[in-house]
Structure 1
């Protein structure tokens, strides 16, 4: 750890000043920031960067697992992979009416965007058409912002989603390129990058993040952040692994809340203007320290639950945001 003294404060402030002036930090500087034991100063400076570029608004998003399980990929963290017996509830694509009702409840609960997530490598044509009909119905009947996550994309499908009014497409890089083969063997890191680029070329906003706590080194967490930053995403969800029973990572230990917050803060230095969203695992790993995370670089949350795990009630999260002097959007 970097010693907790004036030198560490001066270094953190110098990095902050450069970022706030439009400059960048290097991966070696990011590694030094990540190693600091001066968490209070790191959080303070990450918060200053967030406020400068993003104001005092927290992006609150709800999602639905609209098609669960039977995914043909072998991602080691995923309870929905067909490779693992995890006891997850498996079901085909939900009817349009059910998804629309979930979107309506999310909006009434205070979420300002709704993400439709499906466990596919890529949807079959019949399912893709139904998803398009569902998007149209949500836009017409609920009037909320619609985001989607459907696996690998073609340029034609990405343009179709854009025409339907989808705002943002989620496709995470998941892990650092140097660690990716330890996490997944059924596709490559470059395949994920390719879909991210297709999405942006179609004019959709890109949501692209990853998972920490999968056995990667601290530097690989930074390598992942720099790879994500190179794609210039509009939103970056940071997930913290919950080792689900039946997956290869089920025995992975928990991350200390301070380590997660330190990572969030340094990712903010690397990506000053994005929506940096604390997502899956925050309730388990951060517990009540999610308040600190929102004053240490994060400016977005997923509320109401995730793909295969529950989450906080939206009204609880919105109250928490207001109590720390921020605004839910």
Structure 2
């Protein structure tokens, strides 16, 4: 069993990334198979609880208020509608519901109070609850934890050096500080990035190094392929080659062997064969449902059919226990 490592150099990760493709996939698959449930894939569902009108300038995002896209602004969803969406997701096979709000940061107001109620309601359905709400303080993270939140998503997007080219309205340190606040609240961390932004391979390696050298690896690492949206600065970016996705997933699996690696945005443009290669390379989580916030995504029934074809099985909720219980187990092991 591979020992977890938190002092990766860029040279070490680059050497892995640049291995001959079949050798790379074989190594990643071998590490993945050291875990007995290598053919188990978590299905998550992502809903937008507050859409559009965001003050940030993320170059890839159609929800930024400053870009002219076809995304309509919608106020915060009502609790019954969130519960309905959660029920539909659970019936479709999802064990985690992720709720995204187009906010720059969490503010202590009535909307955040409503999100707390949403978290409580979905948690009571015995589903893992994840939120991605922008930057948040340690106190806000603790409120979410107390409500039953399982995970908080805050992607790094790209490398620290490349970050300013993609986003100018917040810094890389802002991202890292939010992740630290999530950790202080004993929540699990969901953090990955996007490829196809016009970044270099060195940027990809650097981003993986930042994730893999955290004191504790993120429990979930999404690997997204850019879905270019008309009206955003990156609207003319070419589609990411599938082999770049495979390399990123395989490298992430090798440097963070215990993390759940999620095949995320861009999956709608992939064939079943291409997705199968990603699963072979170590991906063990997907988003299901017809939308990822504002971009198309394969429907639940299509994914279940793919699972049956490939011999994959769905992962149950709280497979590793709830965050507070996991912390107690870790403390006892020390």
TM over 0.5: yes
Query: CA–CA distance in 2 between the matches of 1:113 and 1:150?
Result: 16
Which deviations, in whole Å up to 9, do the C-alpha atoms of 1:209-254 show, x marking residues without a partner? 1101101111110100111223321101111101110000000111
- Does residue 128 (structure 1) correspond to residue 112 (structure 2)? The answer is yes
Unaligned ranges ≥5, structure 2: 316-334
**For the Cα contact (< 8 Å) 1:322–1:328, is it kept in 2?**
no
**Is 2:197 the counterpart of 1:214?**
yes
Note if 1:264 corresponds to 2:249: yes
* Change in CA separation of 1:21 and 1:94 when aligned onto 2, cut-off 3 Å: closer
Structure 1 residue 323 and structure 2 residue 306: aligned? no
Higher mean C-alpha deviation, range 54-63 or range 185-194 = 54-63
In the TM superposition, what is the alpha-carbon distance from 1:40 to its structure 2 partner?
1.9
Give the equivalent residue in structure 2 for 1:41.
23
Match of 1:301 among 277, 281, 286: 286
Normalising by structure 1, report the TM-score: 0.89
Q: Distance in 1 between matches of 2:175 and 2:224?
A: 17
| Deviation for aligned residue 1:54 | 6.5
Q: Please list the CA deviations of residues 183-224 of structure 1 after superposition, one character each: whole Å capped at 9, or x if unmatched.
A: 000110000000001001101101011101101111110100
- Report 1:281-292 matches (<5 A): 281-285=266-270, 288-292=273-277
From 235, 246, 261, the counterpart of 2:220: 235
For 1:279, the equivalent position in structure 2 comes to 264
CA distance in 2, matches of 1:150, 1:214: 22
Q: Assess if the C-alpha contact under 8 Å between 1:318 and 1:328 holds in 2.
A: no
Provide the secondary structure at the position in 1 that maps to 2:218: coil
> Aligned runs of 1:104-143 on 2, under 5 Å?
104-124=87-107, 125-140=109-124, 142-143=125-126
Match of 1:51 among 22, 29, 33: 33
Normalised by the length of structure 2, the TM-score is 0.88
Map of 2:322 onto structure 1: none
Say if 2:45 and 2:98, in contact at 8 Å, map to a contact too: yes
1:223 to 192, 206, 215: 206
Is 2:144 the partner of 1:161?
A: yes
Contact 1:171 1:195 in 2 (8 A): yes
Q: 1:315 to 1:54 in 2, by over 3 A?
A: farther
Q: Using a 3 Å threshold, how does the CA distance of structure 1 residues 161 and 22 change in structure 2: closer, same or farther?
A: closer
Change (3 A) 1:22 1:202: closer
- Distance in structure 2 (CA, Å) of the matches to 1:238 and 1:61: 14
Cα distance in 2 for partners of 1:150, 1:284 equals 27
The corresponding residue for 2:55 is 72
SS of alignment partner, residue 186 of structure 1: coil
**Worse-matched range after superposition: 172-181 or 23-32:** 23-32
Look up the match of 2:231. 246
CA shift digits 1:84-139 (9 cap, x unpaired): 11111210101111011000000001001101111101234111001111222223
Contact 1:135 1:164 in 2 (8 A): yes
CA contact (8 A) 2:223 2:248 kept: no
Please state whether the residue corresponding to 1:179 is helix, strand or coil: helix
Are the equivalent residues in 2 in contact too, given 1:62–1:115 (CA < 8 A)? yes
2-side partners of 1:236 and 1:22: how far apart? Answer: 15
Q: Equivalent residue for 1:5?
A: none
Structure 1, unmatched stretches of 5+, are 1-18
Secondary structure of 2:161's match? Answer: coil
- Corresponding residue of 1:311: 297
Change (3 A) 1:218 1:44: same
Q: CA 1:309–1:31 in 2, change beyond 3 Å: closer, same or farther?
A: same
